[in-house]
Amino acid sequence: MGASNGKLKIGHDTMIQALKELIKYRDLLYMLTLRDIRIRYKQAVMGFAWAIFMPIVAVGAGILVKQAMSVVSGQPQDPHGIMSIAVKVLPWTFFISSIRFAVLSLVGNSVLITKIYFPRAILPLASTAACFFDLMISMVILTIVMIVMKLGLSIHILWAPVLILFLVLFTTGLGLLLSCANLFFRDVKYVVEVILMFGIFFTPVFYDANLFGRFKTFMLLNPMGSILEALNHTIVYKQAPDPFWLSYAGLWAMVMFVIGLSVFHNKEQLFAENI
C-alpha cells in the first residue's frame, strides 16, 4: 500500500532517498510510537510507573553492589556514588530495552511487512522512540531528585544532550542492524538477549571505569562505556568530558547509525519474502 506521489521507480536507490522516504512517513513514526507507548501504559495497571519501574530496580541493585564494595574497601558510600549509579543506569536501561524491542519489531509485525508497503525502518525506529519516551520520563524524575538533594549543577551539564544524542544514534543504528539480522536469522534474538543480560558486567554502570586503573582504557573502548562515563563526569562530577573519548563515542555513534541505516535499507526489499 505504498502511497507515492510522482514517479516511483522500484529498485535500489540511495540512502538519501531512504531518509527522504522516512521523512515523508514521519506521521507513521509518530503514530507507531504512540501505539507502543499507549499499549504499554494501557495494559499495565501501574500506568506511568512502568517507565521508572525498571530503572528503580536497577538503581537499587547498583546501590547494593556499591554498598558491598564500600564494606570490602572500608570506605563509606557518598551521595555522589549513588547519584552516578542513577545517571548511568537510566541510559543503560534505555539501551537494553530499545535493543530488545527493536530486535523483535520486524518479526512481531510480520503481517504489516507482508501486506503493506511503507519504509520498514519505521518499525525499529518507533520502538526505540517509545523507549526514549520512557527515558525522558525517568530523566525528569531524576532531575527532580537531584534538585531536592541539592547536588548542584555546572555549565558542563550542557554536554549531556550531546551525549544523549550519541546514545540515541548508537542505539538506533544497532537496533536497525539487529532487527534486520533477526529477520534473516531467527536465533539472533537469543544471542542478543544473552549479551544484554551480562553486558552490564562488561560496562561501567554499577562501577566506575577508574576502578580498573591502567586497564580503564579497555572499559572505555566499549562505546556504551565511554558514553556512560562521560555522562557521569558532566552531570555528577561537574567536569568537562575527556575530548578523546568524547569524539571516540561520537564517531561510534555516527558510524553505527550510518551502517545500521544502510544495511537495513539494502536488505529491506528482501524482508517480505524472507519473514
Binding site for other proteins (CB under 8 A): 1-11, 25, 27-28, 30-32, 34-35, 38-39, 42-43, 111-118, 184-188, 191, 269, 272-274
What is the smallest separation between the CB atom of 19 and other proteins, expressed in angstroms?
A: 17
- Rounded to the nearest angstrom, the gap between the alpha carbon of residue 113 and the centroid of all alpha carbons in its chain is 24
Burial of 102 (0-12, 13-18, 19+ CB in 10 A): buried
Burial of 265 (0-12, 13-18, 19+ CB in 10 A): buried
What is the smallest separation between the CB atom of 274 and other proteins, expressed in angstroms?
A: 8
Q: Which among 185, 183, 179 is positioned nearest to 275, based on CA atoms?
A: 183
What is the smallest separation between the CB atom of 249 and other proteins, expressed in angstroms?
A: 29
CA–CA separation, 86 and 11 (whole Å):
47
Instruction: For other proteins, give the closer residue by CB, 3 or 155.
Output: 3
The cell numbers describing 269, all together, are 526489499
What is the smallest separation between the CB atom of 10 and other proteins, expressed in angstroms?
A: 5
CB 176 within 8 Å of CB 260: yes
Strand (E) or helix (H) holding 184: helix 159-184
CB 97 within 8 Å of CB 171: no
What is the smallest separation between the CB atom of 118 and other proteins, expressed in angstroms?
A: 6
User: To which residue does cell 539487529 refer?
Assistant: 178
Angle at 216 between CA 213 and CA 221, to 5 degrees: 175
Instruction: For other proteins, give the closer residue by CB, 32 or 228.
Output: 32
CB 87 within 8 Å of CB 230: no
What is the smallest separation between the CB atom of 50 and other proteins, expressed in angstroms?
A: 15
What is the smallest separation between the CB atom of 271 and other proteins, expressed in angstroms?
A: 9
User: How many residues would you count in the chain?
Assistant: 275
